[in-house]
Structure formats: C-alpha cells, structure tokens
Structure 1
Amino acid sequence: MTIADGYYLKQKEINFYMDQLTFLDNISIDHLNPYGNYLNDNLSNDDYSFNDFIVILKSNAFMMLYNMVESTVKELIASIYDQINSSQLSYSNISESLQDLWQKYHFQNLDQSDAKADKYKKAAHDMINSVLTLQPIKLNYGQLKLSGNADFESILTITQQHGINFNTNEVGKYNLELKKIKNTRNSLAHGSSSFIESARDNSVGDIQKISEHTQIYLEQLIKDCGFYIQHHKYKKHK
C-alpha cells in the first residue's frame, strides 16, 4: 500500500472517463460519421440533444476532478495522522506546527453557540494535563475542515499548518484551474447551476488539460507528503 492508493484509483477513473468523453465529443462534431448520426438520433429527445448530453458529461467531469482533489488531501492527512498516532509521541516531541494545530483541534469541537466558560476551562485543563503527563498525542483527520473548499489556497494553508514543505514552484501556476474545479463543483452541488449549462463554455480539450494539470499538482503534493512522513518531519527537531 502507498499513502495515496485512493488517488491512483481515481486517476484511472478520470483518465478513462476523459478518454470516452473525448471519443464521444469527436463523434458529435463529425457529421459524416455514421455512429454520430446514430447517437444524435438515439441520445436526443424533444428537450435535449446529443450535444446537450456531452455538456452534462463535461459538467460531471468537474465533479469527478473535485472529488479526486478533496479525497486525495484527506487521504494524505489521514496517512500522516496514522503515522503520528502509531509513533506514540507526546506533545513535547511533535513539531511546533503540530503543537499549534493540536491546540486548535482541542477547542474546535466546542459549540460556539453554547461556549460556556466552564467548557473552555475543562478543555484547557484536559489539554494541560495531557501535556504534563506526557500522554501520546492523538490526531483525528475528521477534524480537518475541507468539505467543498479544496482549492490551491486552502490546501496550501493545510500543508503550512502541518509543517509540510509543499513545493509549489512548478504547480503554483495551476491555482486558477483548481479554483475553477472547486467553484464549478460547488455551483453544481448546491444547485445554483445546472449540469446542462455549467460546462457549456468549456471544450473537452480544455477540461482534458485541467485534468492533466490537476494530476501533476496532486502528484507533487503526494511526493512532498511522502517525504514528510519518510523523514519524520512531524517530530520536533532536537
């Protein structure tokens, strides 16, 4: 197993999907192709055409790409937390970045609408007791707040919070494409945009390039997270 098995599975899925979408798109614009005529006749009705079906498939590609991005980040952080938790490290033995994050997590679950002083007092007492008694630190990736918000900026913030040296020299240029994936996915998921309209202005070739760039971005992230784990960057340096 690797730290990103889920990514490689989703990579195969999106590549297969894009190959078939490209095939169908090419047929749809080739009016001399008998298969195109067949599909135009059989994948149309009074309301929608075969070309409309292609647009729906293009919109769905953005959903798949976003799912790959968010799930990969969660999977990487879960792998890091598993490594930290199995190492049985106390507060004083984890990096300063993780110390700050652990403190943040400790208060995160308090209900802000019912944030009574005694709840904060108890949370602070439990945290101090854990530090003084050298209890092993436990991190739960479920506390990672990312749902629907995974783009270049939010992922960079997450890596910085964990002390992960994410090299964005080559992949920083994909910032706007990752934001487009997130925004398109959210407009579809929240119903503010329809599948029949959302990707109408994007060519299949455009989406193919976005897919390729997203994979380059994620593979750099996987590489840097792997280095972080392999070289125990989560530990406090003496």
Structure 2
Amino acid sequence: MEAFTAEYDKRKAEIDSYIQLITILDNDGAQLSDIDGNNFFISAVQSKVCKASFYLLLYNLIEATVMNGITSIYDRIKDERLKFNDIKEDLRKVWWHSKSESIISCPKSEVTETVYSHFVDAINTSEIEFGRFVSGVSGNLSADGVRRVCHKYGIQPVSDGRDLESIKINRNNLAHGNKSFSDIGQDLTTPQLVEIKERVFIFLDQYVVNVNSYLESNSYKEL
C-alpha cells in the first residue's frame, strides 16, 4: 500500500516538473543556453510538441496508477498466502477471466484438460496467483473505464473524470500517428494544461484513497 502511494506521488511530481518546464518554454522570447554561452530560441513548433506530449505523460499516469492499484491488491493476497476460497467473489471471477486467454488459445483437443487444470488450481490448497493480468485495462482508459475496473474488483468508484476521455483520444492519436504533435498542441495553452492536470490529480487522488481503504478494510477477503 505504501509502495503504491509512493509510486503515485513520484509520478505526480514528474507531471508537475513537466508543467513547470512548459511554463518556462511558453514565455515570450524563451530560450535555452548551453555551457558555451550559445542561445537557442524556442520555436512555435517546439512549444506545440511539448504541449501535446503532455497528453502522453498524463495518460501514462492514469493507466499506471490504475494498474498499480490493482497490483497492490494482488500483492496483499500473495503476502497473506490466500487461496481461491479465501478471496471475495469479484476477485474469483477476475481470476477465472485471467485464465481465459490460455483456454481460448489452446488447441481444441486440449480445452478440457486446460479447463480442468485451472479448476484443480482453484479448489486445491495452493495460493492464488493473478500474474500481471488487470481486468478492464486495455490501453484505452477513460473515466468510465476506470469505474468499470473499480466495479470488477469491488472498489468504490470515482466520480467525474471529465478530462480522461479527451486525454485517451489525444494519446491514441499521437501513439498511432493519426495526428501530429503540432496539430494537437497548436490550440493548447499552459493554463489549460494546468487545469486539466489538477482535475486529473483530483480524480486519481480519490482512486488511490479508495484502493487504500479497500486494502485497509480487507475488502478482498471472503467474509
């Protein structure tokens, strides 16, 4: 739990540092100087690219925080050496979902054996393992996507998150080359980015609080 929160705080600090850099570069006549005294002015295109890149950092923060929150639950289950019947039903369903890929991808002649193998794992005395599987995270997280993840695991969902949809869309457009960095960054102002950042922080802060409350109340255990 402490590691989860510490990692989140570190990533938030990175975002704040980047905003500070953009603010400096966005000043009229901003320039960089090297050790030899050479000055380099910041062009309009460079400023646009930096602003658009902010969407990549924000999306990285969102997805990493959601995944790390779920991983912290897995770590607690592993640390307590819990078995299939020790965890709540929501998590049992997630565990079975994590095995679906191995069932779907195996040859037809091996389906029965594969399902039986997972069934034995579920009912025997071995400790439960989720690996790196996080249900509902597929590289396209919006606010509703985060809430769906919370619902799957029984975590208290977070409200609002109005900016996450546009962050996801802009991130995907950049990642897949559908739009250039200068196209996406051309209409952005530094104050707008600061406002977006603050709203995203509020949303994720609550998610972190909810995950930690989930862990503190042992909500992953079967009552």
TM over 0.5: yes
| Residues 133 and 147 of structure 1: CA distance in aligned 2, closer, same or farther (over 3 Å) | closer
Contact kept, 8 Å, 2:147 with 2:158, in 1: the verdict is: no
Structure 1: how far apart are the matches of 2:158 and 2:144? 13
Contact kept, 8 Å, 2:69 with 2:208, in 1: the verdict is: yes
Of all paired residues, the percent bearing the same amino acid is 25
- Output aligned runs, 1:60-139, within 5 Å: 60-112=53-105, 115-139=106-130
Contact kept, 8 Å, 1:4 with 1:72, in 2: the verdict is: no
Structure 1: how far apart are the matches of 2:129 and 2:4? 19
1:59-84: CA deviation from partner (whole Å, max 9, x where unpaired): 01111111111111111111110101
Once the two structures are TM-superposed, the CA of residue 201 in structure 1 deviates from its matched residue by 1.8
Structure 1: how far apart are the matches of 2:156 and 2:80? 21
Contact kept, 8 Å, 2:83 with 2:125, in 1: the verdict is: yes
Structure 1: how far apart are the matches of 2:12 and 2:195? 14
Aligned length: 216
Structure 1: how far apart are the matches of 2:82 and 2:98? 17
For residue 149 of structure 1, give the secondary structure of its aligned residue in structure 2: coil
* Unmatched tracts of structure 2, length 5 or more: 33-38
Structure 1: how far apart are the matches of 2:56 and 2:158? 26
* Unmatched tracts of structure 1, length 5 or more: 29-35, 45-49
1:16-66: CA deviation from partner (whole Å, max 9, x where unpaired): 2112212332x22xxxxxxx1767x9336xxxxx22221111001111111
Q: TM-score, normalised by structure 1?
A: 0.83
1:155-206: CA deviation from partner (whole Å, max 9, x where unpaired): 11111111111242xxx1x23x101111111111111111111121222211
Q: TM-score, normalised by structure 2?
A: 0.88
> Pairwise CA RMSD of aligned residues?
2.0
- Output aligned runs, 1:1-238, within 5 Å: 1-25=2-26, 27-28=27-28, 36=29, 42-43=40-41, 50-112=43-105, 115-142=106-133, 144=135, 146-168=137-159, 172=160, 174-175=161-162, 177-237=163-223
